[in-house]
Amino acid sequence: MGCMVSQLAAKFAFFPPSPPTYHLKKRDDGKLTVVSTAAPIPHADDTSLDVLLVDTKHGNKIVAFYLRNPYARLTLLYSHGNAADLGQLYDLFVQLKVNLRVNLMGYDYSGYGASTGKPSESSTYADIEAVYECLETEYGVSQEDLILYGQSVGSGPTLHLASKLPRLRGVVLHSGILSGLRVLCHVKFTFCFDIYKNINKVKKVKCPVLVIHGTEDEVVNWLHGNGLWKMARESYEPLWIKGGGHCNLELYPDYIRHLCKFIQEMENITTEKRLKKIRQSAKESKSNICSSCRTCCTMKCCRFKCPDCSNCSNCCSNCMNVSWSINCPEWCWRPSCMKGCCFLKLFPSCLGSCCCKKCSWPSCCGVTKCSLPKCGRPSCCCKGCCSCFCWQCCVGKKHSDGSRNGKQNG
């Protein structure tokens, strides 16, 4: 049932122009050129355009246009909407390349234009992964110098790739969708058979996200763009184009003006600043773990897991209170806590070493004579000059009332 609904959603998602607005022709030198009657045709001698055929892991060959800008510092990877192909987008690509001062890579999904195969959600993911690999290997573009741009359905493969690239420079979502089913009907839950679950993937993107959406979009409601902007981890100032529809946002002056501002700010973000920000974010996440344990005890109680505790917040109330010189409420009675005596150095006369043969810590038999009493427990592993650090001797057995009858002096 889920598969059938997913296929039905896919039929509503993809409308490749038929017939395609262009086809490819091989020149005498072996290079590919574009032949089109429905859109401006790039001149055959234009060295700023590369026409490529890229192989995907699904076995399809997809067409890609790479437009060079000699003044570019960044590269834009453009994923178009569901009812266009490269023949219709070439003129827009030229304008973006010039106005934004970027190199631009655009591609047709499987089944679009002169690309082989059939369009589907999984094939678009394979398509953008293949194009990104081409940018890396053929043009030396790293993710630090890459901005992903997704329009409408193109927001799906864009966020798919962006969620996998932690050092990406930026993301642009143009009339993006929360998910495929949410475009067809207003559902509040994400079903397993839904397609393009951007509502989940946008939270994984670790770079600035610019959202552009028209307030009068009748195809993808403005609420989709607003939702993506709110859920992004690092949201950039959004552009809500008043009166803008689904396919005409490029005609508004604010569109190119806001994009230029975004690109310029992304150029000013150096790789060093990005890496510093990522490390700082990771450090903050780590410092938030078990903060309650650090405040109640000088040691990190999470190192010693208590079988009665489901998490660290319950550790203080569930674990035993050891009546040594340091009363740590997090100390657990299970055998894995046996090394705690040595770790906390509760017995200065033993210099923090352990005498228990079962303990992995070095024996303290080589140090000066210990002042600790001998262990009277017959089955104790400690013999010789030093006292016992066995958990049974230190803690004692747990009674039914929750109390423990153990040695108080070690």
* Catalytic (active-site) positions: 152, 217, 246
| Alpha carbons within 13 A on the beta-carbon side of 146 | 22
| CA–CA dist 179, 198 (Å, integer) | 6
Per-residue exposure over 39-75, b if at least 16 CB sit within 10 Å of its own CB, e if not:
beebeeeeeebbbbebebebebebbbbbbbbeebebb
**CB within 8 A of 39, min separation 6: which ones?**
21, 22, 87, 88, 90, 91
CA 368 to chain centre: 55
List the one residue out of 44, 49, 12, 5 whose CA is nearest residue 28: 44
Size of the chain in residues: 410
SS3 call for 136: helix
List the one residue out of 157, 169, 374, 346 whose CA is nearest residue 269: 169
List the one residue out of 269, 205, 211, 268 whose CA is nearest residue 236: 211
Backbone torsions φ then ψ of 28, nearest 5 degrees: -65, -30
| Alpha carbons within 13 A on the beta-carbon side of 225 | 30
Q: How far is CA 19 from CA 87, 93, 151, 263, in A?
A: 11, 21, 22, 35
CA 112 to chain centre: 29
CB atoms within 10 A of CB 184: 13
| CA–CA dist 249, 251 (Å, integer) | 5
DSSP letter (8 states) at residue 54: E
| CA–CA dist 96, 81 (Å, integer) | 16
SS3 call for 183: helix
